[in-house]
A and B are shown apart, each in its own frame.
Chain A
Amino acid sequence: MNCVRKLLLARELSARPGVLRQLAPGLDLLRLQGSSCAQRFWPVPVRSHSKFTPAVKGDQEKDGESRDGSLVPLEELFDRACKGERNKAAFTRAVELFCQRDVRRRGHIEFIYAALQKMPQFGVERELDVYNKILDVFPKEVFVPRNFIQRMFNHYPRQQECGIHVLEQMENYGIMPDNQTKFLLLQIFGAKSHPVRKYQRLMYWFPKFKHVNPYPVPVPLPQEPIDLARISLQRIAADLSAKVTVYQMPLTDILDSGKEITQPHIVGIQSPDQQELLAHHNPDRPVFVEGPFPLWLKKTCVYYYVLRGELLPPGEKGEMLDSERNFYYPMHLDLDLDRGPWDDEEFDVDEAEEGPIFAMCMAGAGDQATLAKWILGLQQNNPILSQTPVVFHLAPGPRELLAASDSEPGEEEIPQSRRAQQEC
């Protein structure tokens, strides 16, 4: 429990703009010692002088700057390194900048907390080598316990917590540590320290979870709408013989008259089974185009449309196996005996029966004209569709969702814009 509280505190501390002091003033040391949350519980001799308290932050900052002018806010380090663009190179530069400043790496804990927080902004939150680089900021071998008493008690608790924090952030982003992480941790904290234990726990669970999802989403997701539609449709269809057809390529063209024409993409999927179902569909009954339905692929949402039929009345369902079906052996026995209860392994499930789904598609636009083109394309392989009435039954579309996600910049965009659609 203590540990968690401390961790939370540490996190809170690091959330404020950190301060880096070039010259250790040492004068506030005693006061700082008393107020440091970790050391309140673990009175261990402090070797690092880079402590700060939120309460005195303002003063210190003024003090420092006025005294030697070398006190640089940690954020600034990142701002200075990035020179306009925030990327991995800039981030590493910032870390290197910090490391080059002082051989003793004063203020490294504050720097690490600040760095961890900055990571998503630089887009490096999923980069293993950046995490290793951050761990590398810790001074080596200083925090390794040297005797059994040190080993028994929490040696350098703030440093250990900070190390755990780094690992925790890796865990949250699903980054698996590698051997370098391990060597760094061993070098910094020594075997059996808390960060190393944390590392061991990660290494126990992460490999087990790595392939736990039987339907993994490809990383990274394809950016091309057609490729994205292809994998999404294959994912929903869950039938390896289903065939994806691109009915229309996306196209933007400017006519001579200056009018701009945009042609949305239309990608459809249909399996041979569905084709057969459609072929046996009674053309007197209408089929429906319905949608859009959302499909989430991690943080991306795509929308699809289905072509479905109505639930058939019981009388018209599938043909009975007649007795003259199989040349070689009887397909059913003429016996008045039923299956006994002990071999009945089916669960008693109430099943809601639904009409058959004949095909699915994803399109760049959800209007009826676009979807009609899809139906037109389907007619090539499903001639019966030209005799069957098709009813468009389209919902207003993902407006609300769009609005909600628009307010969140930084998230991946919703690839398909939708216009409200009337029902006919």
Chain B
Amino acid sequence: MSGLSLLLRAARAAFPAGARQLRTGGPRCAYAKELFLGKLWKEEVFPYPEISNEELEEINQFVGPVEKFFNEEVDSKKIDQDAKIPPETLKGLKSLGLFGMQIPEEYGGLGLSNTMYARLGEIISLDGSIAVTLAAHQAIGLKGILIAGTDEQKEKYLPKLASGEHVAAFCLTEPGSGSDAASIQTRATMSEDGKSFLLNGSKIWISNGGLADIFTVFARTEVVKDGVKTDKITAFIVERAFGGVTSGKPEDKLGIRGSNTCEVHFENTKVPVENVIGEVGGGFKVAMNILNSGRFSMGSASAGMIKKLIEMTAEYACTRKQFNKKLSDFGLIQEKFALMAQKAYVMESMAYLTAGMMDRPGVPDCSVEAAMVKVFSSEGAWICVSEALQILGGLGYMKDYPYERYLRDSRILLIFEGTNEILRMYIALTGMQYAGKILTGKIKEMKKGNISVAMEIFMNKFHDRMGRKVDLGLIGKGGVAHPSLDESSKKLEENVYYFGTTVEGLLRRFGKTIVDEQLVLKRVADVSINLYAMTAAISRASRSMSIGLRNHDHEVLLTNIFCTEAYFKNNYAMAELEKYAAENLDDSIKKVAQQVLEKRAYICSHPLDRTF
């Protein structure tokens, strides 16, 4: 193990941070938000982000040993059965440096860029429990210190966290509080001398809660602002050594059973003032930033898992025979492989596009894109695992094989780090807010009865009706997409343009009350996720064609399949968005739900019931 770690450290030394080549790009990262205006900001996403040869070599040096470790020394089945990651496995992970992947080298971490982190995530995801343990440690657990901590805090905590000597955990959820900041009950009260806080309260479902030594805890504190006392959320770094920290027994879970999840209680835990992350009362922003930054890696992780699944199921499908035919000769089985390949391709494209955008200089805000990646990849992973099980038939259902574990493990992806429903709201509302800011003036003019604006809108509509040729510059002269992707690019352009008009229509119809129209927002989110996914696939396939990567024709096939399907889905969703609630079934859906929830039961009479 030490030999491995030596190798890694040597590799790290060979490529100091300064050597990492960073392309200069746009100062902001607003590709997804621009989609809501019907604009395709192609400079942001074309060409597909690349890393330099040196970086590639560096990352491959990391990948090799990690892959070897996961293949040879990680016994996923045992981890799942015992609901515990064995200490020697944890030690191996630590010596590989995987506990400090994104911690800068000056603090003893690997200092990986987002792209490299995503690459390693692909391999780590081969065991769900380990992936979640590592993610809870560094994607959220210590992220607070990393992005909002002071230099002293970083110096004090990061080195030990990077080496894995200390494990971090993120304590936000409470019995009465999921995403609602107002219902957080944990309280930190300032001591009389003003040097420390006393922390009291309980947190539930804390990943790594039993292992962790360092906790990022969010608690309510009293803040005096303009003479008025208000309660605000503050983030603290809490060491287990401060005393008064107890953790409950590990929860028994459906999947990711090896990861440690438990309650954590704080009882009069004395936290020095220096351990406040950010400022007192500024915990809300810290929490949001941490949550928003941790999501993009799920794309590559899911893709990694599906790629592995494809290998395993293809092996089975090509060897098992029925009716003297291989399973792989049946159309319905082939379809499932195509689906898995397509999903893996698209989520991989999205993940690395987002990671690439995040690696650009400046402080890019790619939270919407990251949320899109998370939603798309978690749902894709669930579908693919399910389809893989379908290929395997009864075999997939058996505990002797790893497939059912993949199914159980992948279910959590749709739930944690913000459920997909919540993220859809985030995606749609953030986009709506962005578009609304810009369109408000125009819409108000029209509503006031400004003839010229109204005429312009009318003429636009008329033009749309007569069959507009949408050209956003992806193809044709000065185009950035490869000509073999003409059809897909056209579809994307058309979708983007009409998405813009749809969003404008929605803003005109609902204004700021759109926050209450969750069914509308869900469709908006779905369309925008599809658009981003199409962009990522086209961009990546164009690059592969242009530089002649191996099997680039396969990529074009996958891209075209995906884009065509997504195009029709988008059109359907947008057609529904243009209708009123009575016509697009929203009213009926709400009514059904209302009636069911009123009785809190399925209310239809039994089919065997009689009235006489």
Write the residues of chain A forming the contact surface with B, with a CB cutoff of 8 angstroms: 176, 178, 203, 206-207, 210-211, 240, 322, 324-340, 342-343, 345
Are B612 and A207 in contact, CB atoms less than 8 angstroms apart?
yes
Q: A327-B288, A328-B418 are in contact. Are A336 and B181 (CB under 8 A)?
A: no
Would you call A327 and B291 a contact (CB within 8 A)?
yes
B interface residues (Cβ-Cβ under 8 A, vs A): 172, 179-182, 232-233, 284, 287-288, 291, 418, 422-423, 425-426, 429-430, 432-433, 436-437, 440, 443-444, 507-515, 580-581, 599-600, 605, 611-612
Instruction: Please state if A330 and B429 are interface contacts (CB–CB under 8 Å).
Output: yes
A329, B429: Cβ atoms under 8 Å?
Answer: yes
Q: When the two chains form their complex, are residues B600 and A340 in contact, meaning their CB atoms are under 8 A apart?
A: no
Residue from the list A210, A324, A342 in contact with B284, Cβ < 8 A: A324
With beta carbons under 8 angstroms apart, the residue of A176, A211, A324, A340 that contacts B510 is: A340
Whether the Cβ atoms of A338 and B513 lie closer than 8 Å is yes
Nearest 6 Cβ contacts at the A-B interface: A337-B511, A207-B611, A329-B426, A324-B284, A335-B512, A335-B436
- Return the contact of B612 from the options A203, A325, A334 (Cβ within 8 A): A203
B515 touches A327 (CB 8 A): no
B611 / chain A contacts, CB cutoff of 8 Å: 206-207, 210-211
- Would A339 and B510 count as touching, CB distance under 8 A? yes
Residues of A within 8 A of B512 (CB): 332-338
- Which of A327, A333, A342 is in CB contact (< 8 Å) with B514? A333
**What's the nearest-Cβ distance from chain A to residue B580, in Å?**
7
Asked if A343 and B422 make an inter-chain contact with CB atoms under 8 angstroms apart, the answer reads no
Q: Cβ of A327 and Cβ of B287 under 8 Å apart?
A: yes
Residue of A nearest to B422 (CB): A328
Contact A343 B509 (CB under 8 A): yes
A–B Cβ pairs within 8 angstroms, 20 of them: A207-B611, A324-B233, A326-B180, A326-B181, A327-B284, A328-B422, A329-B430, A330-B430, A331-B515, A332-B512, A333-B429, A335-B440, A336-B512, A337-B436, A337-B444, A338-B512, A338-B513, A340-B508, A340-B510, A343-B581
CB nearest neighbor in A for B173? A327
Question: B511's contact among A322, A329, A335, by CB below 8 Å, is which?
Answer: A335
Q: Is there contact, CB below 8 Å, between B509 and A340? A: yes
Q: How far is the CA of A327 from the CA of B515 in the complex (A)?
A: 15
Contacts of A207 in B (CB 8 A): 611-612
- CA–CA, A407 to B290, complex, Å? 76
Minimum distance in angstroms from A160 CB to a CB of chain B: 23
A-B contact count (CB 8 A): 99
Most buried by B among A240, A334, A335: A335
- Other A-B contacts than A206-B612, A329-B423, A335-B512, 18 sampled, CB-CB below 8 A, are A207-B612, A210-B611, A211-B611, A328-B179, A328-B426, A329-B422, A329-B430, A330-B433, A333-B512, A333-B515, A335-B436, A335-B440, A336-B444, A337-B507, A340-B508, A340-B510, A343-B509, A343-B580
Q: Are A336 and B440 in contact (CB under 8 A)?
A: yes
Q: Which of A178, A333, A342 contacts B509 (CB 8 A)?
A: A342
A339 and B291 form a contact (CB under 8 A):
no
Contact across chains for A332 and B515 when beta carbons are under 8 A apart: yes
- Which among A203, A211, A325, A330 is the interface contact of B182 at CB below 8 angstroms? A325
Contacts of A340 in B (CB 8 A): 508-511
Contact of B433 among A324, A327, A328, A335 (CB under 8 A): A335
B-chain residues with CB within 8 Å of residue A322 when the two chains form the complex:
182
Instruction: Tell whether, in the assembled complex, residue A342 and residue B172 are in contact, meaning their CB atoms are under 8 Å apart.
Output: no
Q: When A333-B514, A337-B507 are in contact, do A327 and B181 touch as well, CB less than 8 Å?
A: yes
B439: nearest chain-A partner, CB-CB: A337
Smallest CB separation, B428 vs chain A (Å): 8
User: Smallest CB-CB separation from B183: which chain A residue?
Assistant: A325
Question: Is chain A's interface secondary structure helix, strand, loop, or mixed overall?
Answer: loop
CB distance from B589 to the nearest CB of A (A): 14
Task: State the CA gap A339–B433 with chains docked (Å).
Answer: 15
Instruction: Determine the distance from Cα of A332 to Cα of B429 in the docked complex, in whole angstroms.
Output: 9
Least CB separation from A326: chain B residue: B179
Interchain CA distance A337-B436 in the complex, whole Å = 8
Minimum CB–CB distance from A334 to chain B (whole Å) comes to 7
How many Å lie between the Cα of A211 and that of B604 in the bound state?
12
Task: State A339–B182 Cα separation when bound (angstroms).
Answer: 28
Closest chain A residue, CB of each to CB of B182: A325
In the complex with contacts A324-B181, A334-B433, A340-B508, A176-B515 CB distance below 8 A? no
Q: How far apart are the CA atoms of A337 and B181 in the complex, in Å?
A: 27
Instruction: Give bound CA distance, A206 to B612, whole Å.
Output: 9
Shortest CB distance B32–A (Å): 14
Residues of B within 8 A of A327 (CB): 172, 179, 181, 284, 287-288, 291
Partner of B436, one of A178, A240, A333: A333
**Nearest-CB residue, chain B, relative to A321:** B182
Check A333 against B612 for contact (C-beta < 8 Å): no
**Which residues of A sit under 8 angstroms from B440, Cβ to Cβ?**
335-337
Alpha-carbon gap, A420 to B602, bound state (A): 46
A326 to chain B: which residues have CB within 8 Å? 179-181
**C-alpha gap A336/B580 in the complex (Å):** 22
Least CB distance, B175 to chain A, in whole angstroms: 15
- Is there contact, CB below 8 Å, between B181 and A339? no
Shortest Cβ gap from A30 to chain B (Å): 46
Contact of A325 among B181, B423, B430, B437 (CB under 8 A): B181
In Å, the complex CA distance between A379 and B429 comes to 44
- Given the known inter-chain contacts A176-B612, A207-B612, A335-B436, please indicate yes or no for A325 contacting B180, CB distance below 8 A: yes
Contact between chains at A345 and B581 (CB < 8 Å): yes
- Report the bound CA distance from A324 to B218 in whole Å: 13
Please tell me if the beta carbons of A342 and B181 are within 8 angstroms of each other in the complex: no
Residue of A176, A206, A328, A338 touching B423 (CB-CB under 8 A): A328
B612 touches A339 (CB 8 A): no
| A331-B507 Cα distance, complex, nearest whole Å | 16
Q: Which residues of the partner chain B approach A345 to less than 8 Å between Cβ atoms?
A: 581
Please give the distance in Å from A257's CB to the nearest CB on chain B. 51
Cβ of A198 to closest chain B Cβ, rounded Å: 15
Inside 8 A of B425's CB, which chain A residues have their CB? 328-329
For the complex, give the distance between the alpha carbons of A340 and B284 in Å. Answer: 33
Residues of B near A178 (CB, < 8 A) are 612
Which chain B residues border A343 with CB–CB below 8 Å?
A: 509-510, 580-581
Please indicate the chain A residues that have their CB under 8 angstroms from the CB of B599 in the complex.
240
- In Å, the complex CA distance between A330 and B425 comes to 8
Contact B437 A339 (CB under 8 A): no
List, in ascending order, chain A residues with CB within 8 A of B436's CB.
Answer: 333, 335, 337
Q: How far is the CA of A340 from the CA of B513 in the complex (A)?
A: 10
Establish whether residues A335 and B437, one from each chain, have CB atoms under 8 Å apart when the complex forms: yes
C-alpha gap A165/B437 in the complex (Å): 74
Complex interface: chain B residues within 8 A of A329 (CB): 422-423, 425-426, 429-430
* Identity of the chain A residue whose Cβ is nearest the Cβ of B435 in the assembled complex: A335
Closest CB of chain B to A381's CB: distance in Å? 17
Cα of A345 to Cα of B583 in the assembled complex, Å: 13
CB-CB under 8 A from A210, the residues of chain B are: 611-612
Specify which chain A residues have a CB less than 8 angstroms from the CB of B233 in the assembled complex.
324
Bound complex: CA of A175 vs CA of B436, how far in Å?
62
Whether A328 pairs with B291 at a CB distance below 8 angstroms is yes
The smallest beta-carbon distance between B606 and chain A, in angstroms, is 13
Contacts of A337 in B (CB 8 A): 436, 440, 443-444, 507-508, 511-512
Closest chain A residue to B582, Cβ basis? A345
Q: How far is the CA of A211 from the CA of B611 in the complex (A)?
A: 9
* Chain B residues with CB under 8 A of A176: 612
Q: Which residue of the partner chain B has the closest CB to A203?
A: B612
Chain A residues with CB under 8 A of B612: 176, 178, 203, 206-207, 210
Taken together as a complex, chains A and B put the C-alpha atoms of A240 and B598 apart, in Å, by 8
- Nearest-neighbour CB distance to chain B for A403, whole angstroms, equals 39
Q: In whole Å, how far is A273's beta carbon from the nearest beta carbon of chain B?
A: 15
Q: Within 8 Å CB of B180, what residues of A?
A: 325-326
CB distance from B85 to the nearest CB of A (A): 28
CB distance from B599 to the nearest CB of A (A): 8
How many angstroms between the C-alpha atoms of A337 and B432 in the bound complex? 12
Complex formed: what's the CA distance from A178 to B611 in Å? 11
Complex CA distance for A182 and B581, rounded to whole angstroms: 48
Among residues of B, the one whose C-beta sits closest to the C-beta of A340 is: B509
B508: chain A residues at CB < 8 Å are 337, 340
List chain B residues, Cβ under 8 A from A328: 179, 288, 291, 418, 422-423, 425-426
